[in-house]
Amino acid sequence: MSQPTKGDVHVNRPLTNISIAYFQEASAFIADKVFPSIPVEKQSDAYWVIPRDSFNRDEMKIRAPGTESAGGGYEVDPSNTYYAHVRAYHHDIPDQVRANTDSPLNSDREATILCTHKALINREKNFVNAYFKLGVWGTDIDGVSGTPGAGEVKQWNDAASTPIEDIRLYKRTIQEKTGFAPNTLVLGQDVLDTLYDHPDIIDRLKYGQTNGGPANATVSDLQALFKIDRILVGSAINNVAAEKVAEDSRFMFKKGALLCYSAPTPGIMTPSAGYTFSWTGFLAAGSNGTRMKKFRMEHLESDRVEIQSAYDQKVVASDLGLFFATIIA
């Protein structure tokens, strides 16, 4: 692993007020925004899943005088478990580097930012692998370039496609099946940009624009047209190339879309398509299961700054989610 040399951190005087780093905006990362985080005291445990048919059946009856009332209960499936793997990354600050560092580069602060950024990238990648793909949700819909068949819709980059009707249709489908209308739509940047330029969306917005101005769509406009509470856009990138190999940075959220119900307030009897189980019992970890450490590595004559994150991103109610695959070409 490469480290900065003494010369790397000694800044020429004309540049003492400027520091340039390719840290992505925090708003690009959405892994902690889609589903609620559940603080847990143990690294692993079981959680209950109560089948929806136990709640959505009418079993109340007229009660005659002196007779028992109708009654019942519900089943609980205790076989579902989580396991909060501990992920870690560190950055070492050699004594010679610290001693030669000019004031604009606070070694501890920069190490903390670097480690945090690495943790954000890793969490986002894990989110995509857990949720943003085929085969994990109750329903998968394929985007196609030709005439759609069963379980298919026309890709949204096609002017003849109907993204507004598609979203509303599958919102109703999930609501009728579960009793919960999806309130969240997760998109990648490519899909969002395609929707901004869709002729049907532009046509519905053009009369509300300023005279002489273009019909520009916003995320808020799409939320109103789709009649959905939240649209979250994953625009973070990941360099998939190895160190010292030509950079190959790509958006992590590809050409799909996730429609789901996310509980606004998590609770033991509150359904949600997904939950993140965050191990807050991990030696003073924060609410998302993350903690920072700084300790001495004397044999390296360095201080080590390390971030550790312990969590498990779980699909807990697959029927509350639907994935659109290859929704654009």
CB 328 within 8 A of CB 190: yes
CB 321 within 8 A of CB 315: yes
CB 29 within 8 A of CB 236: yes
pLDDT at 79: 85
Domains of the chain from N-terminus onward: 26-55+78-325 (3.90.1690.10)
pLDDT-based confidence at residue 263 (cuts at 50, 70, 90)? very high
Angle at 186 between CA 313 and CA 290, to 5 degrees: 35
Q: How far apart are CA 313 and CA 123, in angstroms?
A: 9
pTM value > 0.85: yes
Judge whether residue 102 has pLDDT over 80: no
pLDDT at 219: 97
CB 88 within 8 A of CB 308: yes
pLDDT at 208: 64
Q: What is the pLDDT of residues 135-192, one digit of tens each?
A: 999 999 999 999 999 999 999 999 999 999 999 999 999 999 999 999 999 999 999 9
pLDDT at 23: 58
Mean pLDDT of the chain: 89
Q: How far apart are CA 25 and CA 178, in angstroms?
A: 36
Q: What whole-number percentage of the chain has pLDDT above 90?
A: 71
φ and ψ at residue 112, rounded to 5 degrees: -65, -45
* Greater model confidence, 1 or 122: 122
pLDDT-wise least confident of 14-23, 35-44, 227-236, 252-261: 14-23
Which tokens in the block code for residue 306? 């390390």
